[in-house]
Amino acid sequence: MTQQITFLLQQSLQYIQNGNLGLAEDYAKKAFEIDRKNFNTLNILGSIKGLQGDITESIDLLLAATEIKKNDFGVQFNLAKAYIHLGRYAESLPHHRKAISLNGSNPDAYVNYAKSLNEVGQPLEAIAAYEKALKLNPNDYEVWTYKGLLLNELQDYENAIQTFNEALRINPSYSSAIFSMGVAYYDLRRYQEAISLYDKSLEIDSNNASIWFNKGLAHHDLGQYLDALNAYKSALNHQPDYPDAEFSEALTRLTLGDLELGLQKFEARWTKSNAAPHRHAQFPQLTNLDKTQGKTILVWEEEGFGDAIQFSRYISKLSEHGARIIFEVRPELLNLFQGLEGISFINRGDEVGDIDFQAPLQSLPLIFNASLSNIPSADGYLSTPDALVQKWATRLLLKNDKLNIGIATSINSKYANLPGHKRAMPLKEANPLLKYANLFVIQKDLPDEDRDFIENSNGITYLGDELNDFLDSAAIVKNMDLIICVDTSLAHLAGAIGKQVFILLSQTSDWRWFLDANTSPWYSSATLFRQTSLDDWSGVIERVNESLSRMK
């Protein structure tokens, strides 16, 4: 009997080596029918099932094998791989550890272990596992690249670049390492170096849509917008269904003022990676104004508070087309928007009721065929109750010795740590403004360094702890002589209530501020101050101070 099983399993292994998994399975099954508790049979049949993609049955067979012989490296190694294949990383970990304890000289065991560790949120332990694999096989350029990718994720870009260089020392033509090093340089905002690496990677892998896409991002951030569009076009030629490239193309086109095509492609925000949830997709989406008369339309705000304020100007226009409008907003914005006439409001998450159409707020400009020449309500469209304005006037007791200026220089912490994100300005950069102004910080979310600066400065008052919602912020804005802020919700709030606002912009700013001009078609009360070189806020503040000197 044992000899027969041995023969059948030898035949099975031979067919595995020849790539004929069907016959390999037939012979292993014959052995299994003879003895269902034979360790070698369970191991080989489990391995065949894994190769065939039947991972669940593979795991069952391999687990049965461990009941007979727990201390077998091959079974533990294959079990760990099977759990990885199913995305059950936590369950793979004990099998990784067991395999390594049985054979600590197998680099693949450490590589697989690292992948699972990273997936369960232990990136530093994963790096340590990669390093053990590299100690065993220092010439494995793929593992050097895996380690570099993980360092990229940890935003340790300098060490990532060194790691990719190790991979390329072994294999100078390894496109993945070249491309990934380009991503590291991009995240360091060294865009030209990133582009050079992307070009080198494209010489090897010219059909890779992802490389073309990332090349487009770098060109955009350098202000090379036509080159960016060409790169996105190449990405979409190689991969037509690529919403990330389409969305980024939208941002570039919008930056150039091409609202017609840019807004169409902006709808790719719902299908790109890391897309926000389309909360009301169960209802028909409004796409034009042909059938709005007498209909009930749910308009819902999306992610950013500033976006909601900016595009709320279109809601009143929508009601003019004979529709009943329900506006779903977050509590922080509800009181601010109550002044919009003819609109009903619900909080996000409330019961919607019967509606005919739904419309994401940022899709309204597309529905209205927005262009630079027809943006509505640039002089202001939101109001603030006089009583609340007076309440804050009493609280603030403003002096007349200098200009009283509301200020916001940081952004939501949700976005502040994104690679390459430089909308925020350290508050200390605003120190020269104190020559002409008393400063009032109108925002809740502050970095520690800004709080420290306020505590050690005269002439700066922090109001964030007293703000209940955006209506409070609007009432404070009304009391100010001027608002100065980076590209954050306060900029939109000031513009929407018609208050003079100086908006401080990074060298490559968000699309809605377009290019070069110091005025905005969105807000007639806004003046734009742009960086002339990367990260140079001092030059921006110097120009702002020149303007202040003429105001007081």
- pLDDT tens by residue, 277-324: 999 999 999 999 998 999 999 999 998 999 999 999 999 899 899 999
| Amino acid letter, 295 | K
pLDDT tens profile 435-464: 999 999 999 989 999 999 999 999 999 999
Confidence of residue 419 (pLDDT cuts 50, 70, 90): very low
- Rounded CA gap, 444 and 362, in Å? 25
Mean pLDDT of 34-56: 89
pLDDT tens profile 471-506: 999 999 999 999 999 999 999 999 999 999 999 999
Write down the pLDDT at residue 421. 56
Chain centroid to CA 208 = 22
With a CB cutoff of 8 Å and minimum separation 6, the contacts of 27 are 8, 9, 11, 12, 15
Burial of 439 (0-12, 13-18, 19+ CB in 10 A): buried
Write down the pLDDT at residue 291. 86
Write down the pLDDT at residue 342. 86
Burial of 289 (0-12, 13-18, 19+ CB in 10 A): middle
With a CB cutoff of 8 Å and minimum separation 6, the contacts of 182 are 193, 194, 195, 196, 197, 198, 201, 211, 214, 218
CATH for 386-551 is 3.40.50.2000
Residue 420 pLDDT exceeds 50: no
Residue 1 pLDDT exceeds 60: no
pLDDT tens profile 360-373: 999 999 999 999 99
Domain boundaries, given as residue ranges, for the chain: 207-275, 296-367, 386-551
Residue 223 pLDDT exceeds 90: yes
pLDDT tens profile 89-133: 999 999 999 999 999 999 999 999 999 999 999 999 999 999 999
Say which residue, 268 or 27, is predicted with more confidence: 268
Q: Check: pTM over 0.75? Answer yes or no.
A: yes
Write down the pLDDT at residue 414. 61
Phi, psi angles (nearest 5°) of residue 480: -85, 155
In degrees, rounded to 5, the angle at the alpha carbon of residue 148 between the alpha carbons of residues 144 and 150 is 120
Share above pLDDT 90 across residues of the chain, in percent, rounded to a whole number: 81
Mean pLDDT of 364-392: 96
Question: Three-state DSSP class for 24?
Answer: helix
Mean pLDDT of 415-443: 84
- Rounded CA gap, 296 and 337, in Å? 19
CATH superfamily for 207-275 is Tetratricopeptide repeat domain (1.25.40.10)
Confidence of residue 423 (pLDDT cuts 50, 70, 90): confident
**Mean pLDDT in the chain?**
94
